[in-house]
């Protein structure tokens, strides 16, 4: 199935000039590393037993402390989780086609940003280690806004930094929280389904403006920005 815009309402007449990306599940396939870090943090702080990673994944896109509160787990899990995430970062793969997509968007004069559930320092560190940081004008983490996803704050902040109105940007994510954040900011939304999405029905139920199955399909929504 080819990804196509789901509604005409999210195809504004204004020229599209920027793409705001979620990180995990869109740019990088971090779930195996995330699961290992979560299991280690759970064992250190909670103790023996099966770490409830599948439940954790259902809250993807949210800030880690918020997920802990929702799940009723100790906030003390954050420190070992972050420590292990840094330690294992070299094992995180970039999705096939993403590097080429970013390069093409840059050649088309697009501004690019990341708006992630991770903290800003950890997201920037990972992207730098993977050789992708230079593609992005800004990388915003959930610790750098007042209210993380699903609130619109992080997308609004990206627009402020990019110095663009909402109608000239598009947000792409793999979780309902990403779509909700985009909708709240008045930005066109895209669901990315090239990752192992935990709950595809919930993602589609968030009513993204387009559904894509490969990174390169985004290019159809992002024609070259006119010069001048």
Averaged pLDDT for residues 46-67 = 93
Q: Give the Cα separation of 176 and 186 in Å (integer).
A: 15
Q: For residues 103-128, give the mean pLDDT.
A: 97
Whether 72 and 179 map to the same domain: the answer is: no
**122 and 60 within one domain:** no
Active-site entry in 22, 29, 174, 178 = 22
pLDDT at 44 over 80: yes
pLDDT for the residue 13: 57
Q: Does the residue 5 lie in any domain?
A: no
Is residue 6 pLDDT above 90, yes or no? no
23 close to 116: Cβ distance less than 8 angstroms? yes
The pLDDT value recorded for residue 214 is 97
- CATH code of the domain containing 109: 3.40.50.1000
Average the pLDDT over 183-207 and give the result.
Answer: 92
Picking from 44, 67, 91, the residue at the C-terminal end of a domain is 91
In this structure, the answer to whether residues 116 and 180 fall within a common structural domain is: yes
What are the helix (H) ranges across 130-211? 153-162, 176-185, 200-205
- Higher-confidence residue of 1 and 166: namely 166
| pLDDT above 90 (res 177) | yes
**Could you tell me if residue 174 is inside a domain?**
yes
For residues 99 and 193, state if they share a domain: yes
In a domain, 1, yes or no: no
Instruction: Establish if 228 belongs to a structural domain.
Output: no
The answer to whether residue 9 sits within a structural domain is no
Do residues 114 and 203 both lie within one domain? yes
pLDDT recorded at residue 4: 45
Of 91, 123, 140, at which residue does a domain stop?
Answer: 91
Place of tokens 């929504």: 221
**What local confidence, expressed as pLDDT, does residue 60 receive?**
83
- Which one has a higher pLDDT value, 59 or 168? 168
Domain count, the chain: 2
Q: What 3-state class would DSSP assign to 171?
A: strand
Looking only at the bridges linking them, the beta strands covering 169-173 and 210-212 are unpaired
Domain hosting residue 67, numbered range = 31-91
Same domain, 52 and 79: yes
Please provide the average confidence, as pLDDT, over all residues in the chain.
Answer: 93
Do residues 197 and 183 both lie within one domain?
yes
Is 174 among the catalytic positions? no
| Segment 51-67 mean pLDDT | 92
Q: What pLDDT is recorded for position 97?
A: 98
Residues in the chain: 228
In a domain? residue 2? no
Same domain, 48 and 19: no
Instruction: Check whether residue 149 and residue 59 sit in a common domain.
Output: no
**pLDDT tens track for 12-36:** 457 999 999 999 999 999 999 999 9
Confidence of residue 9 (pLDDT cuts 50, 70, 90): very low
């Amino acid at each position: 199935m080819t990804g196509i815009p789901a509604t005409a309402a999210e195809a504004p007449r204004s020229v599209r000039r920027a793409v705001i990306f979620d990180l995990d599940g869109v740019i990088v396939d971090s779930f195996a590393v995330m699961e290992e870090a979560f299991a280690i943090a759970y064992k250190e702080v909670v103790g023996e037993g099966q770490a409830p990673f599948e439940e954790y994944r259902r809250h993807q896109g949210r800030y880690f402390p918020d997920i802990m509160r929702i799940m009723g787990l100790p906030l003390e899990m954050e420190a070992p989780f972050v420590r292990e995430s840094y330690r294992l970062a070299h094992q995180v793969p970039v999705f096939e086609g993403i590097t080429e997509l970013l390069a093409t968007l840059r050649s088309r004069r697009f501004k690019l940003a990341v708006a992630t559930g991770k903290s800003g320092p950890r997201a920037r560190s990972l992207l730098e280690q993977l050789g992708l940081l230079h593609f992005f004008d800004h990388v915003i983490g959930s610790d750098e806004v007042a209210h993380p996803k699903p609130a619109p704050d992080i997308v609004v902040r990206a627009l402020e930094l990019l110095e663009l109105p909402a109608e000239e940007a598009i947000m792409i994510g793999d979780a309902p929280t990403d779509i909700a954040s985009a909708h709240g900011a008045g930005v066109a939304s895209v669901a990315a389904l090239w990752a192992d999405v935990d709950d595809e029905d919930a993602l589609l139920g968030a009513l993204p403006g387009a559904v894509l199955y490969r990174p390169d399909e985004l290019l159809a929504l992002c024609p070259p920005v006119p010069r001048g």
